[in-house]
Amino acid sequence: MVSVLTAGHVNWDVTLRLDRLPTPDAEAAIRSQRQSGGGSAANVAATLAGLDVETGLIGSVGDDDNGLLARRELEEAGVSLDGVRIVEGTPTAVKYLLVDDDGEVAVLGNDGINEAVAPDDLDERRIRTADHVHLTGQRPDTAAAIARIASGAGVTVSFDPGRRLGDRDYGEALATSDVVFANDREAEAMLEDEYPGSDFSDRIVVVKCGGDGAMVHTPNGSYAHPGFDVDPVDTAGSGDAFAAGFIAIMLADGRRNGADGGRESAPGFDVERALEYANACGALTAAQEGARSTPTRAAIETFLADHF
């Protein structure tokens, strides 16, 4: 049985380091190129595994070389792939990450087959037996179905809808989630009646602010952490690493304190510690090249010790 089940995209990433992000009618020089696994759900799963959390994944890849490489990398990280569909005759989604000298990122890509998992494909037993389910951007009906199954079994749910929040109706999954992750633009969209009927005052909302740290709003109060001063090399995947760090502390503290970390048990874990740990995970990832530069628990502990 896994402790955390993540659900969403499994991609293959091609990272191009540029002297600058290109503008219309301009040209940028490629400084280097590398390839690795990507996709928010896969990134969170790999980071959680690096933090010694037993993690499984729900997603889909093609039966091509990129899909094989993505699965092999996740297996080597220690992620259970029992919930990953391999679809014949369709390519794995590939994302091209353009990274400038300041670590800023732009993304190009195709969806490939990273949304082949439909509600009827879900293994409900696997969802019900997890300690926590983390949703990322994916088909809205699949996200909603996973959230319903988990919530009905008393399993806590977190959701980080990502860049496509404004393009898709994630209202049901958001309404069911105990913890919602968003950057400042996404949080503003959610709170400005973009999702009518979703009241976020009764749950934990984590607002990621990049290099400026993050804020957490809970039913019992709000908390902020300024982040850590690092030289960003590549910010791709840093938000996923942040979410993994927050979830890892939420679950660990919740077990010790006999609480599940959900919206009714915010005092069951140390929110400020989770925020600090999450920022450390994000900072370490941003200071390295590639969305899958997964920090380990030992590396995070050393980083935090060096900064205090």
Q: 77: which residues sit within 8 A by CB, 6+ positions away?
A: 45, 46, 49, 50, 294
List 184's β-bridge partners, or say none: none
- Please report where in the chains the tokens 């404004």 appear, as a residue: 166
- Cα separation, 181 vs 198, in Å, equals 15
Q: 122 φ, ψ to 5°?
A: -75, 140
- Cα separation, 39 vs 41, in Å, equals 6
| Residue 137 near residue 114, CB atoms below 8 Å | no
Is 234 among the residues known to form the active site? Answer: no
If phi > 0 it is left, if psi is from -120 to 50 it is alpha, else beta; for residue 112 that is left
Calculate the dihedral angle through the C-alpha atoms of 212, 204, 43, 308, rounding to the nearest 10 degrees.
Answer: 50
- Cα separation, 292 vs 302, in Å, equals 20
Instruction: Give the distance, in angstroms, between the CA of residue 158 and the centroid of all CA atoms in the same chain.
Output: 10
DSSP symbols for 147-212: HHHHHHTT-EEEEE-GGGGGGS--HHHHHH-SEEEEEHHHHHHIIIIISTT--GGGSEEEEE-GGG
Radius of gyration, CA atoms only, the chain: 18
Please tell me which residue in 160, 240, 260, 270 is annotated as part of the active site: 240
| Residue 190 near residue 215, CB atoms below 8 Å | no
Count of Cβ atoms closer than 10 Å to residue 228 Cβ: 19
Which of the residues are catalytic?
240
